[in-house]
Chains A and B, each alone.
Chain A
């Protein structure tokens, strides 16, 4: 293949996925743009945002890739009702890793900003926000990833090509949306800002 042929093929193959993540990213941006008051009231929250978004992509993208490989190898069946032991283990591991990583990110942001002498919300508040946001987006993304990968596979689509755009699009939107819900919930429970 010539350079031109490779470039045209790569461009055509990648554009739909990038378009989907563009829509998801813009929606997430609108929610983030509406959160300015929350970002002001919880110092350090904006610093946490990239880590939380990346964790969604890393953890649930890898769950999707694992399920795709498992389906290809015949290790799991594309049915949720089967209550498969391997499927349960993969889902439980993804949820646990997602929540542990979110809590780690929150603690690291508090420690680093305190060391830098920058204003930051209290450790319990940041941990509470990370826990609620991690739990809600984890449960939602597990449901989305398992449903779409299994349904796609049963209809004859290659699950590998579904996972990337799916997780980046839904991960961004749900990641920011549940962050907003988590910030407001913690503010309600702990009171004030």
Chain B
């Protein structure tokens, strides 16, 4: 059953979800607030924030969309030996391994171009790669659990899994960035 094309029907379907997701995102904002002093001191870390959140949410949503499609086509089974599950999980980690080094170098390079950098490029790279790779592993777990839950509760994974996974990965991205900053900076 799809939503009718009226302002009232669309808002009734969307607004409750949006408000709940907003509270979830404020959770990640509060984590950012906890290391605001460090972020304001080192601009290359501040540059990492939007790109980490964006890449985290994207990794999750790509995986969720592919698992939802496999689920609709009936080609998905929830076992570690399942090819679409294992293959998509491997691809997610490989994507993170390709993207996050560029994220770190880009953040450091752009900060160096537009002002001064106090941190060495290696520190920024260590932060982005360690948070990115651990994020990819957690994104796989979250997506599989959310898709499985949608399947058990007979919900359409397209409606439920993608927003839940995208926003959860946003939050995880910030939490892992925080932990990486604690370790490396």
Residues of chain A touching chain B, judged by Cβ–Cβ distance below 8 Å, are: 1-11, 13-15, 17-19, 21-22, 24-26, 28-30, 32-34, 36, 39-40, 44, 46-51, 53-55, 57-59, 62, 66, 69-70, 75, 85-86, 89-90, 92-94, 96-97, 100-101, 104-105, 108-109, 112-113, 116, 118, 164, 168, 172, 176
* With A21-B54, A32-B46 already in contact, 19 other A-B pairs whose C-beta atoms are closer than 8 Å: A9-B87, A11-B91, A22-B55, A25-B54, A26-B51, A28-B50, A29-B46, A33-B110, A39-B36, A47-B33, A53-B25, A53-B53, A58-B21, A66-B10, A97-B11, A104-B19, A105-B26, A112-B26, A172-B54
Instruction: Please name the residue on chain B nearest to A69 by beta carbon.
Output: B2
Which of A34, A46, A59, A176 lies in contact with B39, CB distance below 8 A? A46
Check B95–A18 contact: CB distance below 8 A: yes
Which of A10, A32, A58, A164 lies in contact with B18, CB distance below 8 A? A58
Which of A29, A39, A100 lies in contact with B51, CB distance below 8 A? A29
Check A96–B19 contact: CB distance below 8 A: no
* Bound complex: CA A172 to CA B92 (Å): 22
* Bound complex: CA A29 to CA B33 (Å): 16
A4 touching B40 in the complex, CB below 8 Å, given contacts A89-B7, A93-B7: no
Check B33–A46 contact: CB distance below 8 A: yes
Check A33–B46 contact: CB distance below 8 A: yes
* Bound complex: CA A105 to CA B26 (Å): 7
Which of A49, A69, A94, A164 lies in contact with B61, CB distance below 8 A? A164
Mark out the residues of chain B between 120 and 163 whose CB falls within 8 Å of any chain A CB in the assembled complex: 163
Q: Lowest 7 A-B CB distances belong to which pairs?
A: A6-B87, A25-B51, A29-B47, A10-B91, A47-B29, A93-B10, A86-B5
* Bound complex: CA A43 to CA B76 (Å): 47
Check A93–B19 contact: CB distance below 8 A: no
Is B22 on the interface with A (CB-CB < 8 A)? Answer: yes
6 intermolecular pairs with C-beta atoms under 8 Å apart: A6-B87, A15-B95, A18-B95, A22-B103, A46-B29, A49-B49
Which residues of B lie under 8 Å from residue A34 when comparing CB positions? 114
Check A7–B94 contact: CB distance below 8 A: yes
Check A3–B110 contact: CB distance below 8 A: no
Mark out the residues of chain B between 16 and 33 whose CB falls within 8 Å of any chain A CB in the assembled complex: 17-19, 21-23, 25-26, 28-30, 32-33
Check B5–A3 contact: CB distance below 8 A: no
Which residues of A lie under 8 Å from residue B17 when comparing CB positions? 58
Instruction: Please name the residue on chain B nearest to A98 by beta carbon.
Output: B18
Check B54–A6 contact: CB distance below 8 A: no
The interface residues of chain A, by DSSP majority, are classed as helix
Q: How many CB-defined contacts (below 8 Å) exist between A and B?
A: 221
Check B29–A109 contact: CB distance below 8 A: yes
* Bound complex: CA A14 to CA B61 (Å): 10
Which of B2, B91, B170 lies in contact with A7, CB distance below 8 A? B91
Check A14–B18 contact: CB distance below 8 A: no
Instruction: Please name the residue on chain A nearest to B115 by beta carbon.
Output: A33
Which of B18, B43, B163, B174 lies in contact with A36, CB distance below 8 A? B43
Which residues of B lie under 8 Å from residue A25 when comparing CB positions? 50-55, 103
Is B6 on the interface with A (CB-CB < 8 A)? Answer: yes
Which residues of B lie under 8 Å from residue A92 when comparing CB positions? 7
Instruction: Please name the residue on chain B nearest to A164 by beta carbon.
Output: B61
A168 touching B32 in the complex, CB below 8 Å, given contacts A2-B83, A26-B47, A26-B110: no
A6 touching B91 in the complex, CB below 8 Å, given contacts A75-B5, A96-B7: yes
* Bound complex: CA A164 to CA B25 (Å): 19
> Which of B46, B55, B115 lies at the interface centre, i.e. has the most chain A CB atoms within 10 A of its CB?
B46
